[in-house]
């Protein structure tokens, strides 16, 4: 991972891709209707938790939350997987995996904190899937891009989020943040939240039945 100590005063973090694959699962019911695409969004929140404000400026080491939210759960559920942070260059050395293909968090000392949290949805209220982070930056660019893949389900996703063991191996990112703490030098991060939602779906009729 190509990370070093020489930062610009500010860094821009972009949330650019939220990929939604419409391979619907766990469908029940018989009444036919046309379902619209679930309204999903990804955001960076100030502090640890989902009550913080979406932020555009942060500092290296500042507590942050990567939050993926489905606004209306009356028909849909979802699970998030394959979330990464990178510098936008497609360079494998400038990429951090946050959530793996199974929806499990991947801890990284002083950057990604386990576990992945999930709120329970009821009465159509929003559902959040989120993980705690601390501000970090790559050396190769002043931008950090976040991408996640989302799979919606009908009514309920029969999945459980697992916790992966924290990485114990030393990384350049961990060393970088440790050096900042030791030296007392904490550069500023500017967070530019840019939502670009990429949707991959096929025309589909949703069968939804309500019980009274």
Q: Do residues 37 and 141 both lie within one domain?
A: yes
State the Cα–Cα distance between residues 63 and 59, nearest whole angstrom. 9
Q: Do residues 184 and 109 both lie within one domain?
A: no
Q: Do residues 14 and 100 both lie within one domain?
A: yes
Q: Do residues 79 and 182 both lie within one domain?
A: no
pTM equals 0.69
For 153-181, the pLDDT digits (tens) are 888 887 654 444 444 433 445 444 444 44
For 43-100, the pLDDT digits (tens) are 999 999 999 999 877 788 889 999 999 988 888 899 899 999 988 888 888 899 999 9
CA distances to 60, 117, 121, 123, 176 from 207, rounded to whole Å, are 47, 30, 20, 19, 52
Domain of 195, in residue numbers: 170-209
Q: How many domains does the chain have?
A: 2
Q: Do residues 195 and 126 both lie within one domain?
A: no
Q: Do residues 16 and 58 both lie within one domain?
A: yes
Q: Do residues 148 and 175 both lie within one domain?
A: no
Q: Which residues contact 206 (CB under 8 A, 6 or more apart)?
A: 24, 27, 33, 34, 35, 75, 154
- Which CATH number covers residue 138? 2.60.40.4100
Coil, strand or helix at 93: helix
């Amino acid at each position: 991972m190509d990370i070093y100590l020489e930062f610009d005063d500010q860094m821009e973090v972009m949330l650019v891709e939220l990929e939604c694959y419409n391979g619907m699962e766990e469908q029940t019911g018989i009444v036919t209707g046309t379902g619209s695409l679930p309204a999903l969004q990804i955001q960076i929140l100030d502090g640890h938790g989902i009550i913080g404000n979406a932020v555009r400026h942060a500092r290296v080491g500042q507590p942050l939350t990567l939050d993926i939210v489905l606004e209306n759960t009356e028909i849909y559920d979802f699970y998030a997987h394959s979330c990464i942070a990178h510098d936008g260059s497609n360079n494998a050395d400038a990429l951090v995996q946050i959530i793996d293909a199974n929806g499990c968090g991947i801890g990284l000392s002083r950057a990604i904190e386990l576990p992945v949290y999930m709120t329970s949805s009821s009465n159509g209220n929003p559902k959040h899937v989120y993980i705690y982070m601390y501000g970090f930056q790559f050396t190769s660019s002043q931008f950090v891009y976040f991408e996640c893949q989302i799979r919606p389900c009908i009514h309920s996703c029969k999945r459980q989020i697992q916790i992966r063991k924290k990485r114990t191996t030393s990384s350049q990112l961990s060393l970088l943040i440790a050096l900042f703490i030791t030296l007392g030098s904490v550069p500023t991060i500017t967070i530019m939240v840019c939502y670009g939602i990429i949707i991959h779906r096929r025309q589909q009729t949703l069968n939804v039945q309500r019980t009274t």
